[in-house]
């Protein structure tokens, strides 16, 4: 979390007038997270324990992985409504592969090992994402509509694959050599759940990509002003297809983690997760118009949402109230975003 205090360095400006208000505004996601932890620790003695923090973090991992992909898409000035459905499709596909792939022409059933299941599922997610990207960049379908359509199609395919049922047995069989699917969701390294480590690794790779790679610069530029980026030699179409592909692939990763955590893969998993991911990105300070936002902010946003809703569960608040609180936080975040960008944006 110490990285969050260097938010200003990333922006590189306005260091001179570093007032308290400015600090609170720019680090708002960080301070919100601190406030949430402090409030719930006071309300419940069980909140601020290592084991609870780790459990909550493993919940955050799902939203967090989705939010990484969503951040890339939103930086590009788009939106991806299909991530929740891709998550379900990926989970169901992985489940189907764990049950064995029947190839009727040859009369054999293939039982791919877990690593192959993981790779194939990620490829599937990337392909669905690429469909989004091609629809949007080549056929000029508005991102909202294209991903809305894919959201329905992916969900429908997931339901068709299982006839609406859920795969409950993902453990595989030792004699087939495909055990170990639960590793993602249950195992720990040095006490830290694998899912949290996956999130951290993806966030670090994503953060480096955004801040240090030429692709990251292309992404910020084409999200800020696509025409200017194109005339400066940025391959804007390739950037667009890539972000949707990555978003699809990350959704598949999230689907695998969720299926592993639940030890079941259902076609109705991840409904409305796309909205949670968008909320995390927005709370993290990204602008829906594109070009502004950071990986650090998005991760903070995901933790704010996750820690808030888990905290409300722990202190026994009704789940209806949780919905109300989450909504209020989102609106507040967007309000503060427009405060931050509305001031310095035009004239400086």
Partner 1 sequence: MSAPVNIAGEMPEGDPDAREVVLAARNVAKSYGQVHALKGVNFDIHRGQVTTLFGENGAGKSTLMKILSGVIQPTSGEIILDGQPVAFNNSTEAREQGISIIHQELSLAPNLSVRDNIFMGREIKGPTGVNFAEEERQTRKLMAELEEDIDPLTPVEELRLGQQQIVEIARALSVDSRILIMDEPTSALSASEVEVLFKVIRDLTAKGVSIVYISHHLEEALTITDHAVVLRDGNMTAYAPRAEIDLEWIVRNMVGENYDLGSPPDTALGQSALSIRDLTVPDPAGGFNLVDGLSLDIRAGEIVCIYGLMGAGRTELLETCAGKLRASSGEIVLEGKEVSHLSIAERIARGLALVPEDRQRDGLVQTMSVGENLSLASIASFTKGLFTQRRAERQLVDNSIREVTVKTSGPGAAIGSLSGGNQQKVVIGKMLATKPRVIMLDEPSRGIDIGAKAEVFRLLSEEARQGLAVIYSTSEVSECLSIAHRIIVMHKGRISAEFDSTVTKEKIMAASGESVAA
- Contact residues toward partner 1 (CB under 8 A) are 11-13, 208, 212-214, 217-218, 220-221, 223-225, 227-235, 287, 290-292, 344-348
Nearer to partner 1, 156 or 344 (CB): 344
Distance CA 322, CA 306 (A): 11
In the complex, least distance from residue 233 CB atom to partner 1, rounded to whole angstroms: 4
Q: What are phi and psi of 76, to 5 degrees?
A: -80, -5
In the complex, least distance from residue 206 CB atom to partner 1, rounded to whole angstroms: 13
Nearer to partner 1, 225 or 263 (CB): 225
Nearer to partner 1, 223 or 306 (CB): 223
Contact 187, 194 (CB under 8 A): yes
Nearer to partner 1, 85 or 222 (CB): 222
* Token pair for 245: 């592909």
Length of the chain counted residue by residue: 348
Q: Tell me whether residue 41 is exposed, middle or buried, using C-beta atoms within 10 angstroms of its C-beta: 0 to 12, 13 to 18, 19 or more.
A: middle
SS3 assignment, position 307: helix
Read out DSSP for 99-128? H-EEETTTTEEE---HHHHHHHHHHHHHHH
Nearer to partner 1, 165 or 204 (CB): 204
Question: Distance between the two ends of the chain, CA-based, in angstroms?
Answer: 30
> Going by C-beta distance under 8 Å and a sequence separation of 6 or more, which residues neighbour residue 341?
287, 292
In the complex, least distance from residue 154 CB atom to partner 1, rounded to whole angstroms: 31
Nearer to partner 1, 220 or 244 (CB): 220
In the complex, least distance from residue 167 CB atom to partner 1, rounded to whole angstroms: 38
Q: Using the structure block, give the residue that is written with the tokens 């050599």.
A: 177
In the complex, least distance from residue 66 CB atom to partner 1, rounded to whole angstroms: 24
In the complex, least distance from residue 321 CB atom to partner 1, rounded to whole angstroms: 37
């Amino acid at each position: 979390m110490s990285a969050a205090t260097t938010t200003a360095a990333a922006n590189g400006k306005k260091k001179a007038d570093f007032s308290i208000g400015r600090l609170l505004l720019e680090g708002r996601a960080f301070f919100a997270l601190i406030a949430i932890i402090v409030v719930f620790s006071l309300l419940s003695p069980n909140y601020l324990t290592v084991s609870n923090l780790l459990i909550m973090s493993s919940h955050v991992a799902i939203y967090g992985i989705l939010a990484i992909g969503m951040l890339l898409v939103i930086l590009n000035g788009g939106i991806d409504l299909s991530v929740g459905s891709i998550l379900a499709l990926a989970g169901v596909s992985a489940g189907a592969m764990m049950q064995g792939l029947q190839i009727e022409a040859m009369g054999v059933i293939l039982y791919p090992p877990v690593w192959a299941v993981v790779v194939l599922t990620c490829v599937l997610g990337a392909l669905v994402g690429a469909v989004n990207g091609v629809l949007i960049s080549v056929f000029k379908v508005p991102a909202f509509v294209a991903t809305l359509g894919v959201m329905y199609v992916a969900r429908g395919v997931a339901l068709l694959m299982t006839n609406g049922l859920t795969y409950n047995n993902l453990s595989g069989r030792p004699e087939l050599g495909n055990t170990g699917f639960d590793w993602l969701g249950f195992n720990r390294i040095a006490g830290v759940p694998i899912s949290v480590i996956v999130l951290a690794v993806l966030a670090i790779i994503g953060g480096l990509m955004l801040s240090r790679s030429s692709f990251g610069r292309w992404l910020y530029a084409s999200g800020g002003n696509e025409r200017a980026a194109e005339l400066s030699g940025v391959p804007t179409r390739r950037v667009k297809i890539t972000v949707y592909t990555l978003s699809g692939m990350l959704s598949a990763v999230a689907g695998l983690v969720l299926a592993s955590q639940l030890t079941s893969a259902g076609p109705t998993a991840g409904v409305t997760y796309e909205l949670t991911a968008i909320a995390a990105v927005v709370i993290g300070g990204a602008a829906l118009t594109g070009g502004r936002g950071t990986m650090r902010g998005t991760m903070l946003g995901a933790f704010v949402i996750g820690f808030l809703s888990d905290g409300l569960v722990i202190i026994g608040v009704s789940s209806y109230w949780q919905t109300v609180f989450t909504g209020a936080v989102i609106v507040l975040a967007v309000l503060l975003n427009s405060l931050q960008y509305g001031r310095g944006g035009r004239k400086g």
